[in-house]
Structure 1
Amino acid sequence: MIDCCNRHVTCTTKTINKLVEHIDNPVQRMTAYMMLYQYERLFDDSCVKGINCTPQYAINTGSHAPLAVHPCRVSHINRQIINEEVKKMLHNEITSPSNSAWASPVVIVKKHDGSSRFCIDSRQLNSIKQKYVYPLPRIDDVLERLNGSHIFSKLDLRSGPDGLWQFNRLPQGLKNSPSVFQRLMNQTLGSLRWDICLAYLDDIVVYSCSFDQHLIDLSKVCQAPNNSNFKLNNNKCSFFQNDISFLGYKISSAGCLPNDDNVRAIIQFPTPTSSKAAHSFLQMVGFYRKFIPRFAQISSPLNKSSAKGYPFIWTDSEQSSFDQLKTMITSPAVLIFPDPVKPYIIRTDASGVGIGVVLLQEQIVNRYNTTSIYKPVAFASRTLKPAETRYSTIELEALDIWWNVTQKFHSYIEGQQFTVETDHKPLLSLMKKTYHNSRIERWMTTLQQYDMIIRHISVQHQTAAPEIQRIKKSRRLHPNYIIDNYNVLFKIVKRKSGQQLHLRYLPASLIVEVLSAYHNSTFCGAHFGVKRAFYKIRDRFYWPNMYKDIVQHISSCINCGKNKPSRRKPDGHLQSIKPPRGVWERLAMDYVGPVPESKSGNKYFLVLTDLFSKFVVTKPVPDNTSTTAARFLLYDVFMIYGVPLEIIADNGSHFTSALYESLIKLVGCCHIKTTPYNPQANGQCERHNATLVPNLIALSNHSRSNWDEKLLPTTYNYNTTRHDSTGYTPFELMFARSPRFMFDFISPPSVPLTTDTYRKTMQQFMEHTLLAARNSNLRHQLKAKQRYDSNRPNPQYYIGQNVIIRNRSLAMNKFSSKFIGSYTIVKQVNNKTYVVQSTKNNQQTRITVQDIRSI
């Protein structure tokens, strides 16, 4: 019994440790651990007892005769799964034996991760069962409550809706199960819902503005399901996160984005070959239509191809729509969460195909509250009905305002003043005069109940033509502009030297051509940098924001990106590996060499480092093969010091061969491979190599033929020297005693100890020493990260983004391109590492941000 309890405590402790290990601040991590440990019963899946809840659920079939569906034939493997699941449910009192005349068969469904789910086929029962009505919350209402939140936690409940057996609790598969379970969740959380947490079926999200407040909020939320005896699905829970995935969206303090997995599924969707496939694609993309401007207009060709009763036709128009939707979903706008206090702006856009709108709201973009911009809350659009395609321009623009104000965004703007922006100037008097048009009059009558201001905005990307016309019509020229006899507008510019220049005022339609001429062309630009291009252009032309446009053009030049070296710090913040909690848990291994051949024929030496104690094991070897590495591990490491939990090594063939992998698997050790061309991933081992090599050189003879004889003394002196990271020598942490050197002639007096006394003394020494070393490691790692990250760019890339990567070819020379591509981002491993896929051969490569450039 004691062993079982210990195992339970150990499992719960490991589970909670894993859930908070991502928190960088040690104090916050410990505080979060202690708070969650108060509710350890939530994380214990060893025994699933009944939920303490008041609502009872009965299956109401009216007067229908009992239905008994024959069981399905199952394989031997599935039969074992069913038997094990039935035994488990019997033990946990979820089911009990039954002699009922009603029966539904069991089916085994494969999950995405390859495991199996035990389900009941309730289709026949659902067809005769009376519906139980209880509303589920709207997803958009749930998301909009997250405004102002900066830290999130997600709880996934495993105690949701679950021979002849009968269920004692609500099973999965019944059509009323979601409604019953949602009602149960609402009763369990009570007034906490919509205040500090949101619940959608078995998913609960807790949101707060700070870490300290989140501790309080999360404790309140955990208490409710804990009291009701709920259990958490530990693998799907996440705590104290800056961003989470929830209801198909990626949620952060900045707003929400489509979930990366769903975006990847859309990108990989093959070209439809039937109406059903086209309809499926539209359904997938349509879920995220509020992220895509003019979605209805873009998807219009696909709507016709997916319509029932019409022949499937796939032309260039449908292909263009298909490709454009894929492109836009890979770079969606971040939608901010609405703030009910701030005013809204509705910006309309009508065309002959459809009407669209974007709902905007002001957002502060710096911490000093001095700069703000308008960011989108949602996009909306729809195609025109056949009758609406015959509307006049002003009718279409008025329809756009009426539809968006009264139909689409009524819940946002009702009861407060808002602004409608339109590029159709006649609409400015929409609310002020009477129209001899019954349709517009009807719309205006509806709009009068809103506190609405209509404002005109000019079309984007205006050229200089309006400015020229204004100056021409003026009786007196503007003092800073002149027009020559050929109607060319000039800007009068005075230099500091007193020189006055007449610069051609460049219209917007020619800016790109001039930028290309003075940067891309062979004779005027030759791909020189920003300053050289700016000096050339500013002496000949003028337009507003010239320098900004030049910077943007040159920074987006693919040829420059591929061929010019970067003279700044490598991109990417330091991705710290969580330090191990004890000695000999995680090791790092590497080959050093080739070095000058010794008299014994050795050209390399192997280095193995314990990442906790910093203890180093080395051995000179004649080659760098996998056989040599495997023999070193087996005879010089495992059989002397024991087997660790993990070994970190690079992607060299000596560490990835079948022999090496077989040995690692045989002894029960985990092999962690570093990212290619990223020595920082095995940084501690590389640092020890850099320390050992100069000392070896200093001790060796002039020809370096005896370096292998000096390797063991060098390693011993390293292991017996105090390490800054831990505050102890590696020898002390490894063997729990201080080393005695050859010249220590006077030994300290020894006190005779019994075996028990010695054991207790050593235990106290190790507990104190390991705790001090662990804390010292954390502090040292935090300081190292702060130094490394200081003033270093940390770009983030999104799934589907096109990039180029650093050229690592062995055949590189000074005229080789520094970067090659293009590649597509297909997966984000962590904040610094991505998986990219070649657009030519679909080959995937794991790479860090310092070797990536955006196109």
Structure 2
Amino acid sequence: MASVATVSSLPDALQEEVGLPPQAAGARQPPPYKPRCGNCGLKHKPGKGSYPAEMLACHNCGKTGHLCKMCRSKGKQVAATEEMEASGIIIAATRNVERQPFIWVKVSIGNNEKKSAKIQVVPDTGAQVCVAGPGLLAALNIIKTSLVNRGNLKDVANVSLKPIGSFTCCIQHGSRTTTQEIYILETATRCYVSLQACKDLGLVHADFPYQSPVVAPTSADVGNATSESADYLLACPDTVPLTPLEENVPQLEAWLLRHFSGSTFNTDRSPLPVMEGKPHSIHLLPDAKPYACHTPASVPRHWEAKVKKQLDEDIRKGILEPVPVGEVTEWCARMVVVAKKSGQPRRTVDYQKLNAACKRETHHTRTPFDLVSGIPRHTYKTTSDAHWGFHQVELQEDSKRLTTIITPWGRYRYRRTPMGHCAAPDAYTRRFDEAIEDIQRKFKCVDDTLLFDNSVEEAFWHTYDFLETCARKGVTLKPEKFKFCRRQVDFVGFHVDWDAFKPTEERLAAIRNVDMPAEPSLTDIRSWHGFVNQLAPFLATAPIMEPFRELLKKPQGKKVYWDENLKEKFRQAKDVICKLAKEGLSFYDKDRPTVVVTDWSKVGIGFVVLQQHCSCHLKEAPFCCKSGWRLALCGSRHLTSAEAGYAQVEGEALAVAWCLRKARLFLLGCPNLIVITDHRPLVKLLGDRELKDIANPRLFGLKEKTLHYRFQIKYLPGKRNSAADFLSRYPALCAPPDATDEEDANDMEGAMAAATVAALNCDDCIVLDSTTVVQAPAEDPEYQLLVAKVTAGDWHPHRAQELVCLRHLYRVRDRLAVSQGLVTYTYGQGSVRLVIPIALRKHVAENLHAGHQGLDGMLRRARQTVYWPGMEGDLQHHRDVCAVCNAYSPSQAAEPLTLTPPPKYPFQHTVADLFQLDGQMYLAYADRLTGWLEIAHFPSGATSSKLLSVMRQYFQRWGAPESISTDGGTNLTSEEMSNFLERWGVERRVSSAHFPQSNGRAEVAVKSAKRLLRANTGGGGSLRTDKVSVALLQYLNTQLRGVKKSPAQLAMGRQLRDGVPAHQQHYKVDSHWRGALRARERESVRQQGVWVERQGATRTLPPLMLGTQVWVQNQETKVWDRRGVVMETLPHRQYRRHLRAVRGSSHPTQPPSPNLILHSTRSHPTHTEATGWPQRRVKQPAWMSDYIAGTQ
């Protein structure tokens, strides 16, 4: 070691030569001496020992006595490094000495008068005494006259220095102190501490300068090395210490561990450093009630010494402090000691009461999957784990009393944020996030941090900045958890590889080793589901967990049903989950084209997200090649009870909306997003259809949820949509009743493997764009002739003289043009439309009809973009032959009502209808002219024989009517009833099913009967009560609208005596009885006219010919799902099914089968109405009771 103090009082030129920084501006310079020295280039007094370079060696020639800039041996070069031994230390002299920054350490210096100041000092291991400038005197309020004169000093160049004086003080760094004498120099601008002071403060070890060779340390070595380190930062190197190659990564990692062993990786500091930021404050609720526990929990005898040592260690580190004597405790929790896995004691604090009374400082932390899935592919990753965590966050002074704990050794309270407090994670993560917010390319989850870089050199400087930031912000990291620049790392429970990630072996082992109790509880089942759901991004967990789904529902008792079958399913589920999760997912790249494939079934919905890794054209996505598209995410879920009842189009739209929301982390804002569906109507619905054009409220809401995303939707047939189709349907395969367990496992593995393949062997639907239209004319000679003709403009003056293949475009020749090799059609001020070649017209028509929006919508869309002669007819034909459109077409328009001839006398035309009220069956029988009402009750059901008996009584009482109107009920249209009416000569008119307007009088009678029977019937719905009789008489005596006569007056010519008192005149036969009946007849005609006017938008439908093929509408689902042939036409537009439910087929009419008998009651198919009621001509089979059609 040098025998003089090292201070920066040398001239700038000499300091630059020996590697020291230049002296600060304004410092006093040595007096100028003449002449200029030929050995050092400086001006000083002559004589031996008077110039600074006398003992220095030249970096050029190696000789002593002069500096290299004054060397006369310019052509000679010494070796790169020469070594000489001095006092057992090897000193290397290099020919290029670069200027290095100073190493600063924060210390506290105080004098004997108890005055102190925190300043930065420079550790100088070559100095024998401590030196400072006059600024230190001002900081400590020391006057110069109080200094002691200690004589002269010499610097490294053997130049005498005259100090102002010296004083003795105490220097503290961390928990170590030393007493040193500091010399004050007028020219010093910094404070330098000597070698002995560095040893006393722990800045260097006690045996310095003797040091063993440095090797790459193990984790144990790192722990031992940092235990003696202090809190100081070393200078940042200008270059990477080693060549930045992968083979040097272990050495670079060891270098970083050594370099920051005294700061970032120093885990044995006392007290612990405080993380930068505002101290954490505990906020109580306004109505919080203090809770204090005054008796400590017992500590096992064999653990007492260890627990007490832990408490003392926490006091030394500044985590805990004893509660001052005499302080009253309002909040006090009990310390509880539990055993670690290793068997050692671990202290915990029961803060449940405090947590319940505290407000939480919320700070969001992203989920592990969100973090890991955002790591770019092919990057080097560096991971670290923070040490001490919450204990590095300082606690506010008035919050310390709330953390008081009681132990067998007394009361303590926390000075730092305690473990177990509900707001501790939020306080810590927020301060940690703010501390490293300037560090780029990072992912952080609580105390785990991952850095990613593209090269080793970039990773080194990135990691260095991160570690230096942590040191300055007071964050301590665990050296044994530090992994630098790795291709593969474990981060937040995932194994992150070079181009994929998957759950760690520890997490899979946890699933593999989990065991269910013999009698599990609902909590056990929920815990198992929650644990497995963490793997949901890697596989569709819904199918595998289907056998356990019912167990999640709240049981009737305290136990959950659990048998041997569920045990076996539980074991199989663990094996399958572990096997499939190992496959992992590819990293999501936001710059790659992305495809989403969705599907819906009656049991669930599923999706897969694929990304392109090939160079194929995007129009063929995502099935251009087997390995070009890789799985980035998949998922599925069960349907709710309401969703299970959705229509197909609603369910498929639900699958798309749910997928976009579930994968919004990847899909929101994606510019190259394609959605694939196997339901063609969605292409238009979720495409360019506006919200105002969607009448279905459910589809409206689902469409609205997709408006946040920009995507192109394409159709893929369901048989080629195997991946998403499996995810939506696989729950049905979880537990087939007739399959063995081995077959279940095989099916599960095979199906799940299909869901995770990177590409599927199927073709994509054809997507037409301008490129396709440009390529198509190469094989179309007609289109080439058209291009040439339009370009040249040499059309013949007469159409007949033009080429035959171009005559169909002759009328629009003035609107045709050629742009970039394509023929365009422009009409007026409209948009430019492409003329489509013949080969592509069919595909264009299919794409225009993809949404099944009908002819009008197809034409509106086509007239914006495309044109070819006869386009309207082609689109009309495409619509007519579409089975989907035919099946889901709207119902036929309502036709005008056929007016029934009014009756001439009472009970000429009657109506009858069966109805139910309060579970009892009744018959309403009414007269069309007078409105007279009869009601019959059938306690045990309305059989044909009972109906005939009642009808016979009515006929005896009022006479047999000429006609009777009924609905198509089996009791009223039975063979017995038909024979009965035929014997009495009564014609029957059967109203059309689902068309009650045709028998409106019967509907009115039923309503009146229900109204007067309510609350009046006897036990079992009996009519044999006075209340029913009085109610019926009141109805019969009530005047009808429009004629001011009651049914009794119209039927009998007088009022009936009831419970309302009246003059005898009312009970006499009215002399104007006949006039009243005529008025009633005219009123009936008038009401029919009013009803016809109310029908509004009606139109007459074309009649159906015998042998015409027709579609028959299901009146429940409104779907045209049955085909038939017209076999018989009847008057009054009747075909057994009302004409509105029968529509002519667009297919050519086929001649009827020679074995098919056709009947017609009219000589020609017109709407001329017969004056009489139709007679039943042919007895039809039972299966044709609703439709007069022969099913093909």
TM superposition score normalised by structure 2: 0.36
User: Higher helix fraction: Structure 1 or Structure 2?
Assistant: 1
Larger of the two Rg values belongs to structure: 2
Q: Provide TM-score, normalisation by structure 1.
A: 0.49
